[in-house]
Structure 1
């Protein structure tokens, strides 16, 4: 009989032969369920990302930039496509070339045009998870992926058929291969090929994705093992060789045309903080939730300090890209906007969550954090940001819908006009209605279809004169046109029946005469008619205190109703803004001389100014008058002013709604 021998821990040596070591036992009971939970969580994250981006995708209307790109696909041969479809743009050839071929297969269906970009946006969520896992651990990847799943920032750009979603996808893909070839324990030829091809894809998509790819490549030189340098440089060289055929386009866009921007406003000093709030859906609750989660390892005393070089790399990539874009925007021409930072921002968020270690939270606690990010982010997206209302109802399509509704209600009593920068975009949706008594003011073409010039306010004035007997007007504008167009419409049809605002767009249903429920929009300055005699250039001026204007005023218009028996040239309205205390002139503004051409009859002469965000009406006064530069006789029958206040909806896809 063999008697068991007791150890000092009270366990027999005989029994120890059949016991699994405690260390291995813990690894099995902790890591396997953790990995299984992580797989379930990333699956849920991808599913939520897909739902939020694919939801009624076919109902998302095309935006201005998308129309610009789509209109440049209408070429039958490659030479014309390059010369007229790519060279005039401010982006490399990649996405435009893809669209050129894609629309030949699937047409201009919103669903099919946007689908590839949405799919790349969804795939980017997984790549963010993968990078977080590579750099740090699975929890960092999960939390970063969950954040970008519900951020309006990435959802919005995923639903645009523009370079941003594609550029983000390939920047992230390059970062995945970069980590493998620089930090991986074992590399393969496939890793270097993937690194080279993804770097090349970045170079033909967007100029800031090129910059990001360059930063990633250069950073690798600081960490690269000596034995991998040759393969690394060859991969970079391969990307450059693949990019070389597009160098003429690069040269034309950056050095011959000399501009990749310029249509934007100069950035404010608060741009960065505004951007961060935008990525968090301008939601205090979402920002608070994300902030608490980021510092949770500090609260729990379980912060990990590993992989510091990668933390600094992620921060440096964002800071360098931001600094280049911001300084360039101030010193040369404005180029920085939200989309500029989409290629580098994911790395900052990954770093922000990097204090989490593998064992900071249990699997179920990890699931709770992911659920909190997804739930609070989705709620802020839908309810606070009203994303699916603003994104799915925009100017081009909704103006057409309102026209159809007004046509059904008022019949031949109403006529329609639209002012837009892209006439084809307005026509794309309006052609689907049965509204025939409409006109789009964009460009003037001759009978052969050749472009003569851009539409001017004088064209609108002449059209209004020719159709002055129609009692109602449906007037829409898109892309923040000069407010003088709206003022001219209101001057001729001063009673508002209904007004609708969308992102950078507005539609007004107006009437010449009082209508039940209608609102009179004009404010009187003159009470009695007054005349300009032959040879008289200047006439009576009228003033009013700005204290009567609302603090959130956006635009002010002066509207003169005139009667002339002879043809007028260069007859314009003038607005002066004065300081009430010193009587000094702050601003002088008039409409363009070419807008002041009127045939004999009754007309509206208008001028409008758009105030800056920091304009304060208090302590100022307005002086308004008519400048009769051609010195022809006329009678001013009425002088009025009209103003509009800031509408949060007009900027709601980028700025706060409250």
Structure 2
């Protein structure tokens, strides 16, 4: 029976086998993401009730995944692969359900295309091992559609179909709220298909789902009262653009320009088939996706931002099936060519171009402990000091135990990772020859280079940003490249910067000095169009200034402002005063400030003017001896990963 099945579905068998092998190869090397560690942080409770009250309600998600992780950790501890395994199994389940869903409702060709997309498209590869609600939601969503279509399109009224329809609807609702929205819209659409034959069973199933979900309602209402994770709610998420759906679809089908291959192949299929088929099943899939998209989009725009590509995957399964259905060909040779192109393109993109294994399997949260233990063995325990900018007590508890080591370090809760002033003072006072910075920002890196001028190790992937600095001159020969500086300008190489002439400035061949008196609040500035010095979101503008002070209580600041000069509107303002840095014995000091190109970059890049200036707020006397503006391509492996 099994051999016969494999022979009949040999292509799918190869696809599924390849999917399983590729995802399980790094099984024992997978490391936790920050999202997973956040979930693990909420497992230290003594009872189920305490878990719900203190570990689930405070989060933005329903209980299912948190409860699952809680009980796994109770029995097996925090072993990475054991916690991740159920989610990897869900990813395989999604591929299997997708294949049979398409096989029953469309054709074997469509089923193979859809299985290939779910197996090899980067977004599904990326989320497959992550122990959060994303890949489980994909599994629940496609399973939900499978049983919904069994009942309402294939008219298969077996009791088991109603049971599993209800079960996966409930699991979706308990998995993630937007996953629950998808289940709700699918279930609500069933009202349009009711007749005498299916009404009673459907009503009973719906009633059972509602009753089963009732105990969770207090948690849901509490979480909804908090709102979203947008700026106004104290979060980080920006409101989406109406075109965000296009960005999502680009990611769904392989990232980058891969969608163009799908478009070309769809057109080729239309030409070869000499007709365009679009039936009610395809119409349903399109409508259910659009309804979910617009509900999430409108809620995000008019209430609180919740739109993220990760949570759109739940309704995105409908789009994957829809696009796959447009790639149906009767000519076997032509179809095999189409399937080979899609599979080859997605595998190449995910595992070679995006280098998934190298970029994503390991994360900075564990790597920073693993590598620091090695460095301390090599250079001496007291001679290497680590500052982990993105690290908490949970990580320390897990990884100190895992690597059988415990060392002094600074982490997220320490003032030096929050305050640049304390960071500067701490780094300036260190006695160690080597400084580790993990997940650090360009401003922190610039300060560190003042005292540890030799960057001798720089590990950067999508999941890791780990740097080792040295203050030993003999390490000058070991220096490696740091963050890429894509633009630099100063008084001797002005490029696009516009300076005002200063008659008091004394210019040398490689240095200058501008005396500033107490009458001058804004003694020097440089203006440049934002689109002249930056090119994409994620880049950082770093302003560096050198000063010769006459007082240790000087309040001079380095500032960057982003302004729309036509509308007289300020987009952002960043400033760091002298007090954030350490004055040298000769009364000189180097000060910095930075401006991050955030999620609104595309909106403002062609309208904004960047002004870097010195603000003498207390109107004191000093000399300006350095002025440099750099654009840093900060951690591009992370910020540009989905492009």
For residue 53 of structure 2, what is the aligned residue in structure 1?
A: 83
CA–CA distance in 2 between the matches of 1:611 and 1:569? 30
Q: Report the CA distance between 1:124 and its aligned residue.
A: 0.5
For residue 387 of structure 1, what is the aligned residue in structure 2?
A: 356
Q: Secondary structure at the match of 1:76?
A: coil
Q: Secondary structure at the match of 1:339?
A: coil
For residue 351 of structure 1, what is the aligned residue in structure 2?
A: 322
Structure 1 segments unaligned to the other structure (5+ residues): 1-32, 446-452
CA 1:624/1:401 → structure 2, altered by over 3 Å: closer, same or farther? farther
For residue 476 of structure 1, what is the aligned residue in structure 2?
A: 438
For residue 645 of structure 1, what is the aligned residue in structure 2?
A: 633
CA–CA distance in 2 between the matches of 1:303 and 1:422? 59
Q: How does 1:390-429 map to 2 (within 5 A)?
A: 390-404=359-373, 406-407=375-376, 410-411=379-380, 414-420=384-390, 422=392, 424-425=394-395, 428-429=398-399
Q: Secondary structure at the match of 2:237?
A: coil
For residue 254 of structure 2, what is the aligned residue in structure 1?
A: 281
With 296-305 and 167-176 compared, the bigger mean Cα shift is at 296-305
Q: Report the CA distance between 1:45 and its aligned residue.
A: 1.9
For residue 448 of structure 2, what is the aligned residue in structure 1?
A: 489
Q: Report the CA distance between 1:593 and its aligned residue.
A: 7.6
Q: Report the CA distance between 1:102 and its aligned residue.
A: 1.0
CA 1:506/1:182 → structure 2, altered by over 3 Å: closer, same or farther? same
CA–CA distance in 2 between the matches of 1:494 and 1:628? 31
Highest CA radius of gyration, 1 or 2?
A: 1
Provide, for residues 516-550 of structure 1, a one-character-per-residue CA deviation record: whole Å limited to 9, x for no partner: 354899987795788999xx697673344648975
Give the counterpart of 1:541 among 499, 507, 523.
523
CA contact (8 A) 1:565 1:600 kept: no
Provide, for residues 30-60 of structure 1, a one-character-per-residue CA deviation record: whole Å limited to 9, x for no partner: xxx9987542222222112212222212212
For residue 95 of structure 2, what is the aligned residue in structure 1?
A: 125
TM-score, length-normalised on structure 1? 0.79
Q: How does 1:220-235 map to 2 (within 5 A)?
A: 220-235=190-205
For residue 263 of structure 2, what is the aligned residue in structure 1?
A: 291
Provide, for residues 72-122 of structure 1, a one-character-per-residue CA deviation record: whole Å limited to 9, x for no partner: 112222233222211111111111111111111222111111110010011
CA 1:81/1:566 → structure 2, altered by over 3 Å: closer, same or farther? farther
CA–CA distance in 2 between the matches of 1:376 and 1:492? 47
Give the counterpart of 2:302 among 314, 328, 331.
331
CA 1:604/1:86 → structure 2, altered by over 3 Å: closer, same or farther? farther
For residue 25 of structure 2, what is the aligned residue in structure 1?
A: 55
CA–CA distance in 1 between the matches of 2:620 and 2:320? 66
For residue 15 of structure 1, what is the aligned residue in structure 2?
A: none
1:607 aligns with 2:580: no
Q: Report the CA distance between 1:605 and its aligned residue.
A: 4.1
CA contact (8 A) 2:417 2:423 kept: no
CA contact (8 A) 1:64 1:425 kept: no
CA contact (8 A) 1:569 1:596 kept: no
With 313-322 and 295-304 compared, the bigger mean Cα shift is at 295-304
1:263 aligns with 2:236: yes
Q: Report the CA distance between 1:575 and its aligned residue.
A: 2.9
CA contact (8 A) 2:428 2:451 kept: no
For residue 179 of structure 1, what is the aligned residue in structure 2?
A: 149
CA contact (8 A) 1:267 1:330 kept: yes
CA–CA distance in 2 between the matches of 1:495 and 1:161? 38
Q: When the two structures are aligned, how many residues end up with a matched partner?
A: 603
With 231-240 and 613-622 compared, the bigger mean Cα shift is at 613-622
Q: Report the CA distance between 1:577 and its aligned residue.
A: 5.7
For residue 36 of structure 2, what is the aligned residue in structure 1?
A: 66
CA–CA distance in 1 between the matches of 2:22 and 2:293? 28
With 403-412 and 228-237 compared, the bigger mean Cα shift is at 403-412
Q: Report the CA distance between 1:586 and its aligned residue.
A: 6.0
CA contact (8 A) 2:229 2:237 kept: no
With 512-521 and 109-118 compared, the bigger mean Cα shift is at 512-521
Q: Report the CA distance between 1:356 and its aligned residue.
A: 6.4
For residue 252 of structure 1, what is the aligned residue in structure 2?
A: 222
For residue 184 of structure 2, what is the aligned residue in structure 1?
A: 214
Q: Report the CA distance between 1:604 and its aligned residue.
A: 5.6
Q: Report the CA distance between 1:487 and its aligned residue.
A: 3.3
CA contact (8 A) 1:541 1:623 kept: no
CA–CA distance in 2 between the matches of 1:166 and 1:600? 56
TM-score, length-normalised on structure 2? 0.81
CA–CA distance in 1 between the matches of 2:351 and 2:581? 49
CA–CA distance in 2 between the matches of 1:34 and 1:436? 57
For residue 114 of structure 1, what is the aligned residue in structure 2?
A: 84
CA 1:210/1:139 → structure 2, altered by over 3 Å: closer, same or farther? same
CA–CA distance in 1 between the matches of 2:139 and 2:272? 34
CA 1:281/1:408 → structure 2, altered by over 3 Å: closer, same or farther? farther
Q: Report the CA distance between 1:226 and its aligned residue.
A: 1.9
CA–CA distance in 1 between the matches of 2:345 and 2:88? 22
CA 1:593/1:84 → structure 2, altered by over 3 Å: closer, same or farther? farther
CA 1:424/1:305 → structure 2, altered by over 3 Å: closer, same or farther? same
CA contact (8 A) 1:404 1:434 kept: no
Q: Secondary structure at the match of 1:573?
A: strand
CA–CA distance in 2 between the matches of 1:540 and 1:531? 12
For residue 460 of structure 1, what is the aligned residue in structure 2?
A: 423
CA–CA distance in 2 between the matches of 1:569 and 1:558? 19
CA–CA distance in 1 between the matches of 2:198 and 2:41? 46
CA–CA distance in 1 between the matches of 2:132 and 2:210? 23
